[in-house]
Amino acid sequence: MAVMLGSGEHRYRVVENWARLPEGWEFKDAAAVAVDSKDRVYVFNRGEHPMMVFDREGNFIKSWGEGTFPRAHGLHIDANDILYCTDDLGHIVRKCTTDGKVLLELGVPGKPSAYMSGLPFHRCTHTALSPRGDIYVSDGYGNSRVHKYSPDGKLLMSWGEPGTDPGQFNIVHNIVTDAEGWVYVADRENHRVQVFDGNGKYETQWVNMHRPCGLYCCRGPQLRFLIGELGPSMPVNRQLPNIGPRLSIVDGAGTLLARLGGEAGPGLETGKFVAPHGLAVDSRGDIYVGEVSYTEYPRLFPGEAIPWRMRSLQKLEKVA
């Protein structure tokens, strides 16, 4: 019997073992996911084959990027099927074709800026594009900044600093934009998403979430956002129910519409999550959830061996 998540118009069927990997391959952490105009799914992962590509039925097509990405973290795809690959330990963003040809590189591979200097990059996490093609980079673990670049890679401006006030960040983990140019930033350890105009002016914040990690903007007649929330971070509340890990669906004002999973804590059982980190949606409204399971499992389940080919990617099929 299929496992269902959500309610009302936000109901999804969990598709078991969706991705068919070549024999002996595994994702390790599936840090980020993107879907192109043909519904091909790109999984940016921390295994030996950093970019794996599948059709919408889960059949493997190809891989690329071997030996060039120290630690996959974020992935964005634009309207022309150009990929923006963010590597936090490489301290770089690479703009690539769907075959892996590098068109632009931001940052110096393997050379971070000074910790909390505000200069790009120190463990950058994700990218997004403005309607005119400017590039926003969230930066990240060793900075508390958002950087704005021109389409050809010129640094235009930066904003943000460590803290909890509006416009400040405590792990700026993910970033998306909408069609009007508003910028949405997952401020993970401040348990909020902050909203800015295209030049970093603070507008508002959304709360009622727990460690927002993944962030995806569903553009269309009704603006919707997916938020992947990590579970508790401390041993004392590790198994606390009803605070994640989970997915939340909110509208353009940040109002909660639905939650998927999270009622009974983390787990590998069907319908549960370990660490939803990367999100994407295809043309039919199906959700692809990349999880950093290998990183999080030892912390969530101390003393347990990491399962072979542990689940790091889930497909949630929208129910009509």
Per the DSSP assignment, residues forming a β-bridge with 248 are: 227, 259
Stated pTM of the model: 0.97
Looking at residue 220, its pLDDT comes to 81
Residue 306 pLDDT grade (very low, low, confident, very high; cuts 50, 70, 90): confident
Looking at residue 152, its pLDDT comes to 97
Please report, for residues 1, 135, 198, the alpha-carbon distance to residue 132 in angstroms, rounded to integers and kept in the order given: 46, 9, 11
Q: How many domains does the chain have?
A: 1
pLDDT tens across 159-176, in order? 999 999 999 999 999 999
Looking at residue 2, its pLDDT comes to 87
Name residues whose C-beta falls within 8 Å of residue 57's C-beta, 6 or more positions apart in sequence: none
Task: Provide the residue range defining the domain that includes 280.
Answer: 4-318
Looking at residue 102, its pLDDT comes to 98
pLDDT tens across 172-215, in order? 999 999 999 999 999 999 999 999 999 999 999 999 999 999 99
pLDDT tens across 47-100, in order? 999 999 999 999 999 999 999 999 999 999 999 999 999 999 999 999 999 999
41 has pLDDT over 80: yes
- What's the rounded mean pLDDT across residues 4-33? 95
Looking at residue 99, its pLDDT comes to 97
If we measure between CA atoms, which residue out of 314, 306, 225 comes closest to residue 273? 314
Looking at residue 214, its pLDDT comes to 97
- What's the rounded mean pLDDT across residues 294-307? 89
Strand order in the sheet with 4-7: 4-7, 10-15, 313-318, 287-291, 276-281
Looking at residue 168, its pLDDT comes to 98
Looking at residue 39, its pLDDT comes to 98
Q: What is the CATH number of the domain that holds 238?
A: 2.120.10.30
183 close to 203: Cβ distance less than 8 angstroms: no
